[in-house]
Chains A and B, each alone.
Chain A
C-alpha cells in the first residue's frame, strides 16, 4: 500500500534554532496535512495544504505542498521548549482514499 516516508525520525535542537522536516511519497497526494502530538494526547492539526506549490504559515510554522504533489515540508522558526512533540505528516490516498500517516518526527528542544 501507499506509504509516506517522513524524515528525520528525531531531532535534538537548541532553543532558538530553526527546524525543517519533510515527507515524501511514491504516489501523488491531493492534500497534505501536518499534525503535532504531545505525550498522552491526540494529534492536533497544524496546517492543511490543498494545492501543489501552496505555501501556508501558522505563526512560526510554515508548510509547503511540493509541486510534484509527492512531497511536503514543515519548517519551524525560532524554536521554543513548547514545540516539543511528535510531528506527523498525512495525506489522503490509498485504495479507499483514507488518510495515510508518516511515522512522525520527534522534536526535542533544549532550553
Chain B
C-alpha cells in the first residue's frame, strides 16, 4: 500500500539531546512537509521541501533542521536549541507544491516528550 510512514510513534528526549524523526513516503510525491501540533492548536509548518536537495523554512523553523537527500525521505532533527520540543509531529507529502494547490496527505505522527 502507498503511504507515509513516520517512526517512531513515541520518542523521548533528554535535555540537551538532539533527536531525529523519520518520514518515508512511497507515493512518488515531490513535496514533503513537517508540521508541529500542540493541544488546541492548528498545525504549524516547520520545514518543507519541493524537490530533492532543496528545503525551505516554514513558520517555526528555529531549533529544527531537515535534509532531503532522497525523494522518499525527509527526516526532521529536533535540536537542543528547541526549548519546548514536546509536541505531536506530523509529516505530509503532496504531488507538487504551489502551482496546483495539491492536497497534502499525512503520516500518523510521532509524539515527542522530554524526560
Contact = CB atoms under 8 A, between A and B. Distances in A.
Interface in B51-72: 56, 58-59
B43 A88 contact: yes
A43 B90 contact: yes
Interface in A29-55: 30-31, 33, 35, 40-45, 48, 50
Interface residues of B, number: 26
Interface string A11-44: 0000000000000000000110101000011111
Contacts of B33: 99
Contact of B42 (A41, A88, A98): A88
Contact of B104 (A4, A99, A102, A104): A99
Nearest to B106: A42
A4 B104 CA distance: 17
Interface residues of A, number: 27
A102 B108 CA distance: 19
Contacts of A102: 42
Nearest to A33: B103
Interface of B: 4, 6, 33, 40-45, 48, 56, 58-59, 90, 92, 97-98, 101, 103-109, 111
27 contacts: A30-B101, A31-B101, A35-B106, A40-B109, A42-B90, A42-B106, A42-B108, A42-B109, A43-B43, A45-B104, A50-B101, A88-B42, A88-B43, A90-B43, A92-B101, A98-B45, A98-B59, A99-B33, A99-B45, A99-B104, A101-B42, A101-B44, A102-B42, A103-B41, A103-B42, A104-B40, A104-B42
Interface of A: 1, 4, 6, 30-31, 33, 35, 40-45, 48, 50, 88, 90, 92, 96-104
